[in-house]
Amino acid sequence: MKTHDTRSQSSQSSQSGQSGQASQMSQQGDAERIGGVEVERLPRDPRTGQALAPRMQPGYYPGFSTLSQQSFWDEATRAVVLKRVNQPPPITFFDADEARVMQTVCDRVLPQDDRAPDRRIPILNTIDERLASGRINGYRYADMPPDPQAYRLAIKGIEAIAQSMGATTFTELNLRQQDLTLKSLHDGHPIAGDEYWRQMNARRFWLMLVSDCAGAYYAHPWAWDEIGFGGPAYPRGYMRLRDGQPEPWEKVEHRYEWEAPPESLSDTMESLSDTPEASSFTPGTH
């Protein structure tokens, strides 16, 4: 009903708060759309080359819903997860221009064009909230400025790259150019904006950015549904531990083939394990 609609209202443009003009709007308005998304942004069916319509729930576990299990979670966990779903924090750290650029950056680092616009996961808000509250992961590399400063520098650096490509701002670049810009950070060789990038290690910034985006996306129950992760499991626990068996309330896998939008560069992967910046940004393991 009405309340439910408001609750799941999290289209990217509304999340970016004061930024208003989200990335989708910045492209020309007449492009062909499916399910409210421009066709060039959509993943394809590799057999037909046709764009796949946005889904309420992408991934191979149709009908799986971790939130449907919330009465089996403990109180404290339920409160934390529901707050994340229902109350994305407002944008307070980034100013309007920064938020507009960062929203588009997040849309490329963790694209959600295959998701129905009202089923997208707020990423920028989570990053903004971390920077606004000064939360860090317990360390800073000696060759990096403090995280908030690193983000502000990177936005300037990204804008400088966009300008070197003839645009006035990153959000005006086409998809291929946007991905080229970001790929150059992944590679540790930003295309332009030397005066900003020499103040920090570009690849370390890249790893922080991807970590932050992934940290926001895969913290969300809709992402858990997408990848078939069981989510909170206390106090009920798991009983079927072996052979990848599902619990009675989990779903079996139903795969479908898809390929990234043709203009995208982010589906071809190059390992960073042999780079000097590889040492992990992740929590403990063993």
Partner 1 sequence: MKEPLFGAFDGAKPDEHYVGPIQRIDAPMRHYPRGEAVDFVVVGVGSAGGVLIQRLAKAGFSVVGLEAGPFWDTERDWVSDEAGSHGLYWNDLRIIGGSDPLALGANNSGKGVGGGSVHWAGFTPRLHPSDFRVRSDDGVAVDWPISYDDLKPYYELMEREIPVAGPTYYPWGDPHGYSYAPHPLGGVSQTLVRGCTRLGIPVVAGGPVAINSGSHGSRPHCIYRGFCIQGCKVGAKQSTLVSHVPDAIRHGAELRDKCMVARINLGKDGRVTGVTYYDEHGQEQEQRASVVIVSGYAIETPRLLLNSACPGFEQGLANSSGTLGKYLMAQIGNVVFGRFDDLVRMYKAPPANALTEEFYETDPRNDFVRGYAIQTVGPLPISFAQHMMVAQGAWGWGLRRTMMDYNHWSALGVLGEILPWEDNTVTLADVRDGFGLPVARVTFNLHENDHKIAQAGVQKTEEIMRAAGATEVTQEPRYAHLVGGARMGADASDSVVNSFGRTWDIPNLYVCDGSILPTQGSANPGLTIQALAARTADYLISERENAAAPTAATRIPVRYSLSPSEVAGRGMPRLKSRRPTTFGAGALGPGSRG
For residues 135-174, which are near partner 1 according to CB under 8 A? Answer: 135-143
- Determine, following the binding rule CB under 8 A, whether residue 239 of this chain makes contact with partner 1: yes
Which stretch in 4-12, 25-33, 48-56, 102-110 sits in contact with partner 1 by CB under 8 A? 102-110
Which stretch in 6-14, 86-94, 117-125, 246-254 sits in contact with partner 1 by CB under 8 A? 246-254
Phi, psi (degrees; rounded to nearest 5) at 180: -60, -40
Angle separating helix axes 175-186 and 202-217, nearest 10 degrees: 120
Q: Closer CB to partner 1, residue 20 or residue 249?
A: 249
Q: Binding to partner 1 (CB under 8 A): which residues in 106-135?
A: 108-111, 114, 135
Q: Closer CB to partner 1, residue 96 or residue 254?
A: 254
In sequence order, the 6+-apart residues with CB closer than 8 A to the CB of 272 are 186, 203, 207, 278
Which stretch in 6-14, 26-34, 159-167, 261-269 sits in contact with partner 1 by CB under 8 A? 261-269
Given a contact cutoff of 8 angstroms between Cβ atoms, the answer to whether 25 and 103 are in contact is: no
Residue position matching structure tokens 């971390």: 130
* CA atoms of 92 and 125, how far apart (whole Å): 9
Alpha carbon of residue 80 to chain centroid: 20
Beta bridge partners of 135: none
- Taking phi over 0 as left and psi of -120 to 50 as alpha, with beta for the rest, 125 belongs to alpha
Question: Of these, 16, 133, 241, 254, which contacts partner 1 (CB under 8 A)?
Answer: 241
Question: Of these, 155, 186, 193, 200, which contacts partner 1 (CB under 8 A)?
Answer: 186
Short-list 133, 108, 141, 103, CA closest to 11: 103
Which stretch in 5-13, 32-40, 86-94, 225-233 sits in contact with partner 1 by CB under 8 A? 225-233
Q: Closer CB to partner 1, residue 21 or residue 258?
A: 258
Q: Closer CB to partner 1, residue 18 or residue 198?
A: 198
Short-list 235, 225, 222, CA closest to 75: 235
What is the nearest approach in angstroms of partner 1 to the Cβ of residue 60? Answer: 6
Q: Binding to partner 1 (CB under 8 A): which residues in 24-83?
A: 43, 58-60, 68, 71-77, 80-81
